[in-house]
């Protein structure tokens, strides 16, 4: 009897020790994460921070279209679409043996955003200071009004507020797939040829866009500042094999970056650019961009449940042997 109790005690102790020391998060599809520690979720930090690469394009009424054809009259028909792949390995990165994690996004629309307090305003102030027009008595307010007169910025007729055109998530979605036959290449010269390989795996996580912050690199590009810029965004998990591992983890936000709503995932630094085509218009497909995605995730519920069942089993054996 003593030997049995000792064996059970050692087994439980080893299990507890293993649980305490184990830092790896186990997710569906044999995906693992060696998590970051001590992050502040209110500052856009979590236990994962994964890089990614992507390409994107605008569609007008469902057809890939150059931004050069964008006007105030047809902007409602334009949506941003694209695909990419999670990259990197090591601490804070999702990993699986022999697989790739790819993604597709679609139906991201356009809308007017307040200029005041935005990063676009900060970029414009830098441009104003670098131009030297202040030496000739031109104020920053004059500089902004000139951009309104040139059609690069807009004034709300009701409030007088200055607005700029930017990316807004509307009904946008992002799907992440797990694929054990890695075959996706992020090649800006063969975007359509590679597109099918971005979505040919199993749906690992489905995310809906809930907020975004766009900053234009330059608003005087002929397409309202949309040819190059950075976008930050936040998303909520709404489906996929790993959904519960994200929804049951701590939420994340970063008010300082303009993303105040609690969300499951935040993406930062999506830098992308549409280059000039040989005919003087902007190319339909962007150059390859990059960014990183952050958030919190917990082990799959099935893993936790199995561990609980194992402890219950040990207890039942112990009770039977006492009898």
- Using one digit for the tens of pLDDT, what is the confidence trace for 8-17? 343 434 344 3
46 and 10 co-located in one domain = no
128 and 269 co-located in one domain = yes
85/186 Cα distance (integer angstroms): 8
Q: Which residues neighbour 292 within 8 Å (Cβ) at sequence distance 6 or greater?
A: 49, 50, 51, 52, 267, 268, 269
218 and 257 co-located in one domain = yes
Q: Tell which residue, 175, 196, 295, has the closest CA to residue 239.
A: 175
Tell me what percent of the residues of the chain surpass a pLDDT of 70: 86
Mind listing the pLDDT tens digit for each residue in 123-164? 999 999 999 999 999 999 999 999 999 999 999 999 999 999
153 and 122 co-located in one domain = yes
pLDDT at 310 over 50: no
pLDDT at 32 over 90: yes
134 and 269 co-located in one domain = yes
More confidently predicted of 7 and 33: 33
| Number of structural domains the chain divides into | 2
pLDDT at 322 over 70: no
14 and 104 co-located in one domain = no
226 and 321 co-located in one domain = no
Lowest mean pLDDT among 11-25, 135-149, 189-203: 11-25
153/201 Cα distance (integer angstroms): 42
314/323 Cα distance (integer angstroms): 15
Report helix, strand or coil for 145: helix
15 and 135 co-located in one domain = no
Domain that residue 99 falls in: 29-299
pLDDT at 307 over 50: no
Mind listing the pLDDT tens digit for each residue in 41-92? 999 999 999 999 999 999 998 899 999 999 999 999 999 999 999 999 999 9
Instruction: Classify each residue of 65-100 as buried b or exposed e, where b means 16 or more C-beta atoms within 10 Å of its C-beta.
Output: bbbbebeeeebebbbbbbbbbbeeeeebbbbbeebb
57/93 Cα distance (integer angstroms): 27
251 and 323 co-located in one domain = no
Q: Which residues neighbour 31 within 8 Å (Cβ) at sequence distance 6 or greater?
A: 94, 95, 96, 99, 101, 178, 204, 242
251 contacts 224 by C-beta, under 8 angstroms = no
- DSSP notation for 1-62: -HHHHHHHHHHHHHHHHHHHH--PEEETTTEEE----S--TTBT--SEEEEEEEEEEEEETT
pLDDT for the residue 171: 82
Q: For the chain, give the number of residues.
A: 323
pLDDT for the residue 170: 74
pTM of the predicted model, to two decimals? 0.84
pLDDT at 104 over 90: yes
193 and 209 co-located in one domain = yes
More confidently predicted of 39 and 302: 39
pLDDT band of residue 22 (cuts 50, 70, 90) is low
153 and 7 co-located in one domain = no
276 and 312 co-located in one domain = no
């Amino acid at each position: 009897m003593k030997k049995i109790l000792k064996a059970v005690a050692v087994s439980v102790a080893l299990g507890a020790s293993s649980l305490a020391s184990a830092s790896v998060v186990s997710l569906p599809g044999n995906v693992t994460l060696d998590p970051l520690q001590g992050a502040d979720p209110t500052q856009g930090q979590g236990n994962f921070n994964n890089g990614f690469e992507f390409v994107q394009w605008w569609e007008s009424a469902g057809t890939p279209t150059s931004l050069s054809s964008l006007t105030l009259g047809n902007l409602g028909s334009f949506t941003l679409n694209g695909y990419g792949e999670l990259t990197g390995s090591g601490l804070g990165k999702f990993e699986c043996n022999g697989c790739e994690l790819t993604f597709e996004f679609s139906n991201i629309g356009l809308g007017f955003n307040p200029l005041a307090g935005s990063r676009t305003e900060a970029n414009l102030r830098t441009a104003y200071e670098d131009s030297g027009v202040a030496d000739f008595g031109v104020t920053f307010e004059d500089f902004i009004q000139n951009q309104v007169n040139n059609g690069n910025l807009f004034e709300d007729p009701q409030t007088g507020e200055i607005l700029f055109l930017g990316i807004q998530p509307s009904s946008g979605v992002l799907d992440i797939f797990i694929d054990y036959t890695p075959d996706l290449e992020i090649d800006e010269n063969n975007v359509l040829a590679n597109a099918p390989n971005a979505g040919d795996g199993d749906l690992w996580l489905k995310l809906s866009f809930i907020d975004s912050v766009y900053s234009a690199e330059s608003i005087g590009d002929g397409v309202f500042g949309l040819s190059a810029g950075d976008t930050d965004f936040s998303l909520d998990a709404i489906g996929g094999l790993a959904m519960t591992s994200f929804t049951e983890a701590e939420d994340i936000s970063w008010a300082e970056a303009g993303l105040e709503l609690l969300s499951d995932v935040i993406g930062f630094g999506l830098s992308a650019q549409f280059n000039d085509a040989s005919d003087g218009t902007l190319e339909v497909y962007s150059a390859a961009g990059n960014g990183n995605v952050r958030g919190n995730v917990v082990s799959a519920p099935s893993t936790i449940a199995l561990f609980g069942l194992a402890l219950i089993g040990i207890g039942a054996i112990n009770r039977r042997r006492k009898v």
